[in-house]
Structure 1
Amino acid sequence: MAASAQRITPFLMFEGRAQEAMDFYVSLFDDAKVVRVTRYGPDGPGAEGTVRHAVFSLAGRDFQCIDSAGHDFGFTPALSLAVECGSEEEIDRLYAALAEGGSELMPLGSYGFSAKFGWVNDRFGVSWQLTLPGEPS
């Protein structure tokens, strides 16, 4: 059987804050960068200078995003970005940064399935589940 050329990439739709979100995420994670960005011009349909389409990478995983020109829905915690952290310092740092200006769904703690876990919606509405593997204390 031939190898598939298919790629599945998370796609995030922001409302005018895609560049701010990308810059924030890239500042938090290792091996992270903005790969490419195209912007709306004066003829729209989005506001001039906002993100028409972008690709960014976090920990070697590509994401796509845009600034939507008007939709009546947002992000939901029904789909989260799951991050397996390498240390307690890392999970604490990421949780604090992602929770700032957002909302805590499950505060950092021990829930019986990992050493430490937390769930947060960030300031852009994107949902993140952070876990520190290992036995709960």
Structure 2
Amino acid sequence: MSPTTPQKITTMLMFEGQAEEAMTLYMSLFDDAEVIAISRYGPDGAGAEGSVEHATVSLAGQQLMCIDSVMQHDFSFTPSTSLFVNCTTEDEIDRLHAALSDGGEQLMPLGSYGFSTKFAWLNDRFGVSWQLNLA
């Protein structure tokens, strides 16, 4: 994708008050991460003042949108949709696994599987599902 071509399909992550914390964690894990745009609820906004009304971040060249929902929902993230990361080194997969699994849930522990020499599938502490693969 060229820098002038906008990303047509973007993953949207809906949080209930933890968007900023999640974005901060995710951006700390990738060298080429940045906030592209962020708007926050003001004192008269529908959401808690200062919480994320809408944000777009870039992680390793992939844009994600994040919001703090103003409504509580009876649903959250599910592993049926996950963020798949091809890691280039063992240090990278180990570092990402340690950070993302802290306070989270292991779905497939870091290990060797028939399709990958080193792979893990987990839900982070926010409930977002990640698949980490050593390419």
- The two structures have a TM-score, normalised by structure 2, of 0.92
Q: Structure 1 residue 17: deviation in Å?
A: 0.7
| Count of residues in Structure 1 that have an aligned counterpart in Structure 2 | 130
Q: Is the 8 A contact 2:7 2:63 kept in 1?
A: no
Q: Determine the C-alpha separation between the residues in 1 that align with 2:25 and 2:7.
A: 28
- Aligned residue number for residue 102 of structure 1: 104
- Aligned residue number for residue 63 of structure 2: 62
User: Which stretches in structure 1 are left out of the alignment for 5+ residues?
Assistant: none
Q: Determine the C-alpha separation between the residues in 2 that align with 1:85 and 1:105.
A: 18
Identity of aligned residues (%): 66
Q: Give 4+ residue runs of structure 1 displaced > 6 Å after superposition.
A: none
Q: Which structure: larger Rg?
A: 1
Q: Structure 1 residue 5: deviation in Å?
A: 7.1
- Aligned residue number for residue 93 of structure 1: 95
Q: Determine the C-alpha separation between the residues in 1 that align with 2:78 and 2:43.
A: 31
Q: Structure 1 residue 94: deviation in Å?
A: 0.4
Q: Determine the C-alpha separation between the residues in 2 that align with 1:74 and 1:41.
A: 25
Q: Determine the C-alpha separation between the residues in 1 that align with 2:30 and 2:7.
A: 26
1:84 aligns with 2:86: yes
Q: Structure 1 residue 36: deviation in Å?
A: 1.3
Q: Which has the higher strand share?
A: 2
Q: Is the 8 A contact 2:35 2:58 kept in 1?
A: yes
Q: Determine the C-alpha separation between the residues in 2 that align with 1:72 and 1:36.
A: 28
